[in-house]
Chains A and B, each alone.
Chain A
């Protein structure tokens, strides 16, 4: 017995042999991840060939043989992209036809947005309470800055345009559609038949039609529906329609969250003596909203992308400005450059939104059962 143990100890003293060459390190990684079998190797080779075709040519087109200076397209005699229009047109792409000497106002509004958003997005922000108060005041401050009043010269909303318009419509839609969506979702699950049916028909009608038709409704039918001499600002009309559209989708997302809450939670809230609004606010909604975060953020992303649809009713958002520039004789034929440039704006914002939601999900998933925002 003891000799067996001894021999085992002896065996243990001999060092284990290293794994075969090619199963560890760089070669091992390559084998495992790129060339694990014939089929995978083939895919890898095809991918590498494709990337070799695309990436160097892309870099060459964007950077190496592109041109950044010049007054019009004739100045661009190179083979690559022509970025010469950016310094001329950047103002329009950002602000539309907002008067040039007043463009500091949307800039200030934009930079004030960051402290207004921070306390809602992140948990540990210095002076959180004051920032929250500030963020409640922010919509009014921003409106005054953009539209005018209190000594600032007033600017008509038909001057709004460019990416500023996308941000205005998108942010207003986001801020308004969440509460409206929550109300619609609660209404859809209400026990009162009339309220339930009103909410269901609103949600289904709005989700059933394309946003374009709703925008046409706002543009063509609203003047018919309103008293003959009443008018409504076109930007406000768009915001209302985009909000209505997004809130119907939001309601369905939140309804999914509400349905996932076990009925024990509802019963427990009732047993504690909470009334309907208390139990919703304190027990049900915090949990339901937390599990619907991915869906909510997806709706926000969709809403923000949909702000480009305002071009079909004649507003000049960043895509509208791009279309106008592509048709301009000075810059004719630069469509690829222009649209890639515009796409970059949306990609940065939408991509960071989706990453933020993933981060939030991870954090809330590991942290336990606190509310979704501290």
Chain B
């Protein structure tokens, strides 16, 4: 009797599921307990206490590449912020460049021009099949073996390329430039509102309204007018040669330059594949249907092909952006001081390995969770509603 009941429990999916989960729960709990006990013992042995108080301690190192002020008297915490900003800097530069390269390459690969599509395919295959770390180090070695400052390569007499990086003109703003910025923002908002209005009107009445020229006038025309009206409140400072170096202008270090070029070309190759697949995924029938409705070629592209292609392109594109951001951590190999690299330095100086790793994980995880949240929202918004 009892054995039959035991069999019943064993073959009941519910109780069996509970049993398996109990086993998993127990093993995870004991694993965590094992690790925690070891960690406590090891930390005690090393005389370390866990906690984030050390972030206020003084960092005895310098950071060359920085967006906010930092000296060797600043704290570890500020050093990490500098690193985080550097990660953000190289990621955003890389994302912009990779998008441009990727879309260009993707479209050119679909070109009917035999030579162009072959050349672009060669670029894509080479960059995709060689490790990114190798490419980063290769570019870095190339940029650091450029001529010395004295023999800088001049580009249009405003950019100077040498073994200390790329020096170019820097903008200098006056107070009144704020007005230009303000009108630009107002123009942007107004154009957006105009576009919304015109779309609604078109849906209701079928009348079209050309937003583009008025939008251009609002966003570009008026700010430019004000810019010249205020007697050019922004000028470019062009770097000048001195005996040993340059003064003025902005210098992009070889590390940043190498990382930027490598990340942009590598991710650009992946993006080009995504773009190509996205455009190819829209069936020919859609083009034919659009034409039979009387849409022109441009309208077909803008209203029919692109929206459907973007449905396929956007999700993998966002994950490529995320990959680029994570890949920027390879900066450590060439000494670009990003979050991971500076974290590594702090880790070596202070010995707080647990905390530093926790900070790394928290930063990258929140980035990626935010991205995937956006992606889910987007997918839900654009997914086909089937009846």
A binding-site residues for B, Cβ under 8 Å: 32-34, 36, 40, 43-44, 47-48, 50-51, 191-195, 198, 204-205, 207-210, 212-213, 216-217, 220-221, 223-228, 301, 305-309, 311-312, 319, 323, 326, 333, 335-336, 339-340, 342-343, 346-347, 350-351, 354
- A-B contact list, 15 entries, CB within 8 Å: A40-B116, A44-B116, A47-B116, A51-B119, A208-B364, A210-B327, A212-B329, A212-B330, A224-B353, A228-B41, A228-B42, A305-B132, A311-B133, A319-B133, A346-B129
For B332, list chain A residues within 8 Å (CB).
212, 312
For A213, list chain B residues within 8 Å (CB).
329, 340, 357, 360-361, 364
A205 touches B365 (CB 8 A): yes
B5 at the interface (CB under 8 A from A): no
15 additional A-B pairs beyond A228-B42, A319-B137, beta carbons within 8 Å, are A43-B108, A51-B119, A194-B21, A198-B24, A204-B365, A208-B368, A209-B368, A210-B327, A213-B361, A213-B364, A225-B35, A305-B129, A308-B133, A312-B333, A350-B128
B222 at the interface (CB under 8 A from A): no
B binding-site residues for A, Cβ under 8 Å: 17, 20-21, 24-25, 28, 35, 38-39, 41-43, 45, 108, 111-116, 119, 125-126, 128-135, 137-138, 141-142, 145, 326-327, 329-330, 332-333, 340, 344, 347, 353-354, 357, 360-361, 364-365, 367-369, 372
B38 touches A226 (CB 8 A): yes
* Whole-angstrom CA separation of A233 from B368 in the bound complex: 31
For A305, list chain B residues within 8 Å (CB).
129-132
Known: A217-B357, A308-B133, A312-B333. Is A224-B43 also a contact (CB below 8 A)?
yes
* Whole-angstrom CA separation of A117 from B309 in the bound complex: 39
A339 touches B137 (CB 8 A): yes
A210 touches B43 (CB 8 A): no
A351 touches B24 (CB 8 A): no
A354 touches B326 (CB 8 A): no
B129 touches A301 (CB 8 A): yes
B354 touches A221 (CB 8 A): yes
Main secondary structure of the interface of A (DSSP, over half): helix
Query: Smallest distance from the beta carbon of B212 to chain A beta carbons, Å?
Result: 22
Please give me the residue from chain A that is nearest to B138 by CB atom.
A339
B141 touches A326 (CB 8 A): yes
Name the contact of B129 in the complex, choosing from A51, A198, A210, A351 (C-beta under 8 A): A351
For A312, list chain B residues within 8 Å (CB).
332-333
Please give me the residue from chain B that is nearest to A207 by CB atom.
B368
- Closest 7 interchain pairs by CB? A335-B141, A208-B368, A350-B129, A33-B114, A305-B131, A194-B21, A210-B326
Inter-chain contact total with CB atoms closer than 8 Å:
158
For B357, list chain A residues within 8 Å (CB).
213, 216-217, 220-221
Main secondary structure of the interface of B (DSSP, over half): helix
* Whole-angstrom CA separation of A306 from B327 in the bound complex: 11
B330 touches A47 (CB 8 A): no
* Whole-angstrom CA separation of A220 from B340 in the bound complex: 14
A339 touches B141 (CB 8 A): yes
For A198, list chain B residues within 8 Å (CB).
24, 28
B131 touches A308 (CB 8 A): yes
For B17, list chain A residues within 8 Å (CB).
191-192
* Whole-angstrom CA separation of A312 from B125 in the bound complex: 26
B112 touches A309 (CB 8 A): no
Query: Smallest distance from the beta carbon of A253 to chain B beta carbons, Å?
Result: 12
Name the contact of A205 in the complex, choosing from B112, B344, B347, B361 (C-beta under 8 A): B361
For A351, list chain B residues within 8 Å (CB).
125, 129
Please give me the residue from chain A that is nearest to B319 by CB atom.
A207
* Whole-angstrom CA separation of A43 from B116 in the bound complex: 7
Please give me the residue from chain A that is nearest to B363 by CB atom.
A209
For B25, list chain A residues within 8 Å (CB).
194
* Whole-angstrom CA separation of A363 from B287 in the bound complex: 30
Query: Smallest distance from the beta carbon of A202 to chain B beta carbons, Å?
Result: 11
> Which has the most chain A C-beta neighbours within 10 Å: B17, B115, B364?
B115
Known: A335-B138, A343-B138. Is A306-B131 also a contact (CB below 8 A)?
yes
* Whole-angstrom CA separation of A339 from B334 in the bound complex: 14
B38 touches A227 (CB 8 A): yes
Please give me the residue from chain B that is nearest to A230 by CB atom.
B38
A339 touches B134 (CB 8 A): yes
* Whole-angstrom CA separation of A260 from B45 in the bound complex: 53
* Whole-angstrom CA separation of A167 from B327 in the bound complex: 22
* Whole-angstrom CA separation of A40 from B107 in the bound complex: 13
For B135, list chain A residues within 8 Å (CB).
343
For B116, list chain A residues within 8 Å (CB).
40, 43-44, 47
B114 touches A208 (CB 8 A): no
Query: Smallest distance from the beta carbon of B288 to chain A beta carbons, Å?
Result: 21
For B45, list chain A residues within 8 Å (CB).
228
Known: A47-B119, A224-B43. Is A309-B330 also a contact (CB below 8 A)?
yes
* Whole-angstrom CA separation of A198 from B25 in the bound complex: 9
A34 touches B113 (CB 8 A): yes
A323 touches B137 (CB 8 A): yes
Please give me the residue from chain B that is nearest to A209 by CB atom.
B364
For B365, list chain A residues within 8 Å (CB).
204-205, 208-209
A333 touches B145 (CB 8 A): yes
* Whole-angstrom CA separation of A193 from B125 in the bound complex: 42
Query: Smallest distance from the beta carbon of B100 to chain A beta carbons, Å?
Result: 17
Name the contact of A225 in the complex, choosing from B38, B138, B368 (C-beta under 8 A): B38
Query: Smallest distance from the beta carbon of A281 to chain B beta carbons, Å?
Result: 18
* Whole-angstrom CA separation of A213 from B24 in the bound complex: 27
B333 touches A192 (CB 8 A): no
Please give me the residue from chain B that is nearest to A335 by CB atom.
B141
Query: Smallest distance from the beta carbon of A323 to chain B beta carbons, Å?
Result: 7
B130 touches A47 (CB 8 A): no
B360 touches A209 (CB 8 A): yes
> Which has the most chain B C-beta neighbours within 10 Å: A208, A343, A346, A350?
A208
B113 touches A43 (CB 8 A): yes
For A217, list chain B residues within 8 Å (CB).
357
> Which has the most chain A C-beta neighbours within 10 Å: B39, B134, B333, B367?
B134
* Whole-angstrom CA separation of A34 from B111 in the bound complex: 10
B21 touches A225 (CB 8 A): no
* Whole-angstrom CA separation of A339 from B134 in the bound complex: 7
Known: A225-B39, A228-B42, A346-B129. Is A209-B134 also a contact (CB below 8 A)?
no
* Whole-angstrom CA separation of A194 from B357 in the bound complex: 26
Query: Smallest distance from the beta carbon of A85 to chain B beta carbons, Å?
Result: 15
* Whole-angstrom CA separation of A34 from B113 in the bound complex: 5
For A32, list chain B residues within 8 Å (CB).
112
B113 touches A36 (CB 8 A): yes
B114 touches A224 (CB 8 A): no
Known: A212-B329, A213-B361. Is A220-B353 also a contact (CB below 8 A)?
yes
Query: Smallest distance from the beta carbon of B323 to chain A beta carbons, Å?
Result: 9
For A51, list chain B residues within 8 Å (CB).
119
Please give me the residue from chain A that is nearest to B36 by CB atom.
A225
For A193, list chain B residues within 8 Å (CB).
21
* Whole-angstrom CA separation of A346 from B360 in the bound complex: 29
* Whole-angstrom CA separation of A264 from B75 in the bound complex: 61
